[in-house]
Amino acid sequence: MKHACRYALVRFMPYPETGEFANVGVVVMSPTARFFGYKLLDRVGRITAFFDELDVTVYKRARDTFRDELFRIGQMIERAFIGAVNGPSAEFVNFAFDELSRPREAIIYADTPRGAIVADPRIALEEYFDYYVGRSFATPSIRNGWSSNA
C-alpha cells in the first residue's frame, strides 16, 4: 500500500541577515500510515565547518530545544492517530504539521512542506535525511565533476 506523506526539511540559520542555512533534519508525517517521525543531525562538524565563527553550543541548544518541541508535537499527533484516519483526527494532524512548518523567524525551523507518495514513511524519513542532510546524491563521480569544472 502506498501512503501520502508530507515532509519538511529542518533548517539551521544562525544569521538571518545573510539567509545562509544548513539542512539539519527532516520531519515526515503520514495520516494513512499513522506515522510522525523526525531525524536531526547530531554531528556538529558540518555546522562548525560552515559557520566557523559560531559557538557550537548555539546549534546544540537550538537542536535540543527543537527536538523537545518535535517530541511534544509527536505525542499530540500520536494521540490523534488513535482516532480515525479521516475526519477530525486527520484534520488535527494536518493542522499540527501546518503549524510546525509555518514560516517563522527562528534559528532552527521546519521549512515549507513537501508531499510524496511512499510505500513506507519510516524508510522515506531515512532516505530524505540521507539525501537532504547527508547529501547522498554527491557520489565520487559527481564530486569529481564539480572539481573539474572549477
pLDDT in tens, 99-133: 999 988 899 999 999 999 999 999 999 999 999 99
Long-range contacts: 80-83, Cβ < 8 Å, 24+? 81/31, 81/34, 81/36
Q: Would you write out the chain's pLDDT as a tens digit for each of its 150 residues? A: 899 999 999 999 999 999 999 999 999 999 889 999 999 999 998 899 999 999 999 999 999 999 999 999 999 988 887 765 555 577 888 899 999 999 888 999 999 999 999 999 999 999 999 999 997 675 555 545 555 554
Residue where the block lists cell 540559520: 13
What is the pTM assigned to this prediction? 0.86
DSSP run (H or E) holding 76: helix 56-81
